[in-house]
Structure 1
Amino acid sequence: MKIFISSARKGLEVERDNLDGLIRALGHTPVRFEDFSAQSTPSREACLRAVESADVCLFLLGPYYGHVFPETAQSATHDEWVAAQAAGKPRVVYRKQGVTFEDAQHAFTRIVEAYATGVFRDSFHTTPELMTKVAQKVRELESAGSPLAFAKLTEQPALHWASDDTAHGSASSEDAMLELSALPLDFVGYSARELSQLAASLVDRIRATRMVRGDVALSPTSSEDYVAVAIPASRPRSWDTPQTGELVESRLYKTGQLSVRATLPRDGLGSILDPDALSQQIADLLRFSGALNIVQVDRIVVAASVSTTVTTSIDSFDPRQSRRSAQPMGFGRSDRALRTEPDESVTLAALGAGAAEVATHLAQALIVQASR
Structure 2
Amino acid sequence: MEVFVSSLISGMEEDRAAVRRAIERLGHRAVMAEDFGARPDSPQVACLRELRRSDAVVLVLGARYGAQQASGLSATHEEYRSAQGEKPVIIFLKDGEQTPELEQADFVAEVSGWEGGLFRESYTDPQQLDALVTRALHRMALSSATTPMNPGALSARAVEVVQQVRERNHYGAVLHLGVAAGPVATILRPAELEGRDLASQLQQALMFGPQPLFDVRLGADVAVVDQAVSIFQGERNAPTAEVQFWSTGDLRVSVPLPRSTGSHMSYVIEEAVAETVASALTFADWVLGHVDPTERLTHVSVAARVVGDSVMGWRTAAEHAASPNSGSWSMMGREVERGQAVQLSPGHMPRAALKMRSRNITEDLVVLLRRRWRDERLGR
Q: Report the TM-score range of the alignment, normalised by the length of the smaller protein.
A: 0.5 to 0.7
**Cα distance change of structure 1 residues 224 and 20 upon mapping to structure 2, 3 Å threshold:** farther
Gaps of 5+ in 2: 1-72, 74-94, 134-148, 235-239, 376-380
Looking at structure 2, the residues matched to 299 and 348 of structure 1 have their Cα atoms a distance apart, in angstroms, of: 4
Mapping 1:235-254, distance limit 5 Å = 248-254=241-247
Match of 1:192 in 2: 190
Looking at structure 2, the residues matched to 313 and 20 of structure 1 have their Cα atoms a distance apart, in angstroms, of: 60
**Cα distance change of structure 1 residues 284 and 248 upon mapping to structure 2, 3 Å threshold:** same
Gaps of 5+ in 1: 2-17, 32-53, 58-88, 92-116, 138-150, 233-246
TM-fit CA distance, 1:193: 2.2
Q: Secondary structure at the match of 1:308?
A: strand
Looking at structure 2, the residues matched to 315 and 366 of structure 1 have their Cα atoms a distance apart, in angstroms, of: 12
Which of 90, 97, 112 is the matching residue for 2:114?
Answer: 90
Which region of structure 1 is more displaced relative to structure 2, 334-343 or 249-258?
334-343
**Equivalent pair of 1:176/1:312 in contact (CA under 8 Å):** no
TM-fit CA distance, 1:364: 1.9
RMSD: 4.2
Looking at structure 2, the residues matched to 280 and 55 of structure 1 have their Cα atoms a distance apart, in angstroms, of: 23
**Cα distance change of structure 1 residues 211 and 280 upon mapping to structure 2, 3 Å threshold:** closer
Match of 1:174 in 2: 171
TM-fit CA distance, 1:223: 1.0
**Cα distance change of structure 1 residues 181 and 162 upon mapping to structure 2, 3 Å threshold:** closer
TM-fit CA distance, 1:179: 1.1
What is the one-letter code of the residue matched to 2:177?
L
**Cα distance change of structure 1 residues 178 and 167 upon mapping to structure 2, 3 Å threshold:** closer
Q: Secondary structure at the match of 2:172?
A: coil
TM-fit CA distance, 1:310: 2.9
**Equivalent pair of 1:266/1:317 in contact (CA under 8 Å):** no
Looking at structure 1, the residues matched to 216 and 308 of structure 2 have their Cα atoms a distance apart, in angstroms, of: 30
**Normalised TM-score (structure 2):** 0.51
**Cα distance change of structure 1 residues 195 and 310 upon mapping to structure 2, 3 Å threshold:** same
Mapping 1:257-268, distance limit 5 Å = 257-267=250-260, 268=263
Q: Deviations over 1:46-75 (max 9, x none)?
A: xxxxxxxx7344xxxxxxxxxxxxxxxxxx
Looking at structure 2, the residues matched to 277 and 177 of structure 1 have their Cα atoms a distance apart, in angstroms, of: 11
**Cα distance change of structure 1 residues 315 and 21 upon mapping to structure 2, 3 Å threshold:** farther
Q: Secondary structure at the match of 1:194?
A: helix
**Cα distance change of structure 1 residues 304 and 166 upon mapping to structure 2, 3 Å threshold:** closer
Structure of higher CA gyration radius: 2
**Cα distance change of structure 1 residues 312 and 194 upon mapping to structure 2, 3 Å threshold:** farther
What is the one-letter code of the residue matched to 1:251?
Q
Match of 2:316 in 1: 316
Q: Secondary structure at the match of 2:99?
A: helix
Between Structure 1 and Structure 2, how many residues are aligned? 243
Q: Secondary structure at the match of 2:317?
A: coil
TM-fit CA distance, 1:287: 1.6
Q: Deviations over 1:7-29 (max 9, x none)?
A: xxxxxxxxxxx999734355443
Q: Deviations over 1:344-372 (max 9, x none)?
A: 21011232111111222222222222235
Match of 1:288 in 2: 283
Match of 2:156 in 1: 157
**Normalised TM-score (structure 1):** 0.52
Which of 354, 360, 363 is the matching residue for 1:360?
Answer: 363
TM-fit CA distance, 1:331: 3.0
What is the one-letter code of the residue matched to 1:278?
V
TM-fit CA distance, 1:278: 3.1
Match of 1:24 in 2: 101
**Cα distance change of structure 1 residues 210 and 279 upon mapping to structure 2, 3 Å threshold:** closer
Match of 2:328 in 1: 327
Match of 1:306 in 2: 306
Looking at structure 1, the residues matched to 307 and 286 of structure 2 have their Cα atoms a distance apart, in angstroms, of: 25
**Cα distance change of structure 1 residues 217 and 55 upon mapping to structure 2, 3 Å threshold:** same
Looking at structure 2, the residues matched to 273 and 361 of structure 1 have their Cα atoms a distance apart, in angstroms, of: 17
Percentage of identical aligned residues = 17
Q: Deviations over 1:260-313 (max 9, x none)?
A: 122224223444334455344322321221123346411111111111223241
**Cα distance change of structure 1 residues 335 and 122 upon mapping to structure 2, 3 Å threshold:** closer
2:110 corresponds to 1:55: yes
Looking at structure 2, the residues matched to 176 and 228 of structure 1 have their Cα atoms a distance apart, in angstroms, of: 21
What is the one-letter code of the residue matched to 2:268?
L
**Equivalent pair of 2:150/2:183 in contact (CA under 8 Å):** no
